[in-house]
Amino acid sequence: MPRKLASIQGIREILPIEGADAIERVGILGWYCVAKKGEFKEGDKCLYFEIDSLLPEWPEYEFLRKSSWSEKAGCFRLKTAKLRGALSQGLALPIARFAARVAAAGLGSIEDLPAGTDLTDALDVEKYEAPVSVQLDGKARDFSWPIAKSDEVRLESDPELLAQMAGKPWYVSAKLDGTSASFILDLPAKPGADCEFHVCSRNLSLEEDPGNIYWTLARKLDIEGILRRHFAATGTCLAIQGELCGPGIQGNKLGLSEASFFVFTIVEIEGHRLLDLDAMRSLCAVNGLRTVPILREGDSFAFSNQELFALSEYPYREVFPEARKDQEGEGIVVRAKDQSLSFKKVSNRFLLKGGE
């Protein structure tokens, strides 16, 4: 599901910032950000922009130039920040400032739009994507994605997920700071045709290239063979999705000596059904594939938000001994063992140290 980078939301609470006369913290969904003192009151609607948003060069955002302007991207980029000791994740602005733009987009009066209305496209907001290194780049093939792209929702964006997870068998895996990869055996386009193997970055199916790390790992791990053997035995096409990490990828924060692939989901193409934890583990073990590190698991989920915050903050060295001692882990992913529900919790310590 695409993220609502810009949306109408309600002000849940307002908190003072010690020693600050001009700013205060406002609670929106599960997020907190810093706003001008007195600009909002509890229950007000606001326009909320999530972190990772790229905002166009409009007058409404000009006050962000000193803190958030990216000359390279030609836009304003929102990142996690700390102001007067208060963590700020995102941006809250009065809806009245955008009334003319929303009306021009054909959405009517912004005052009448309910909480949750997605205005990402209407306001030309885009998602920040980390630059792609040469070894990850490649020429795209024509492809219609048969599965959902990997983009786990953050708990702060949908706090109700915590209650929905309660009581379910669960597991928590380490969130790895690499780049997502999908290896897909697609269903035949017509009866009698062969299934087609696709090697995919986050957004593209890539033509085979021995210099491309996605294809190098696909061949090294014999992923096409794994998928075709499974299809021959079961008649089921699968997609294996995971994180690609190692030298030259996101600064290699895990300290790996070579490129590695860690599976986080396996999907049956027909029906879009995710294999449960036991089936995923079994398929990976039989075929020599590694899953993402599983930190904890249990039979009845009962964590509070604060307990998940604590779990999300750990040094990568606890999971990968080669990592630098001071390298914060990116966070955690929480999943129901039957894969019916999932969300991520990104470490604030990781974000404040420049993580993306």
Residues 123, 142 share a domain: no
pTM of the full predicted structure? 0.89
Identify the CATH number of the domain in which residue 225 sits: 3.30.470.30
Residues 193, 49 share a domain: no
The angle that helices 213-220 and 223-234 make with each other, rounded to 10 degrees, is: 50
Range of the domain at 283: 134-352
Residues 122, 143 share a domain: no
Do 176 and 243 contact (CB within 8 A), yes or no? Answer: yes
Residues 332, 194 share a domain: yes
Taking residues 148-156, report their average pLDDT: 86
Please report which confidence band the pLDDT of residue 138 belongs to, taking 50, 70 and 90 as the band edges: confident
Identify the CATH number of the domain in which residue 58 sits: 2.40.50
In a domain, 294, yes or no: yes
User: Is 134 a residue whose pLDDT tops 60?
Assistant: no
Of 127, 160, 176, the residue that ends a domain is: 127
Residues 45, 146 share a domain: no
pLDDT in tens, 111-129: 999 999 999 999 999 999 8
Residues 146, 118 share a domain: no
As for how many domains the chain has, the answer is 2
pLDDT in tens, 13-40: 999 999 999 999 999 999 999 999 999 9
pLDDT in tens, 247-262: 999 999 999 999 999 9
Residues 154, 292 share a domain: yes
pLDDT in tens, 334-353: 999 999 999 999 999 998 88
User: Is 322 a residue whose pLDDT tops 60?
Assistant: yes
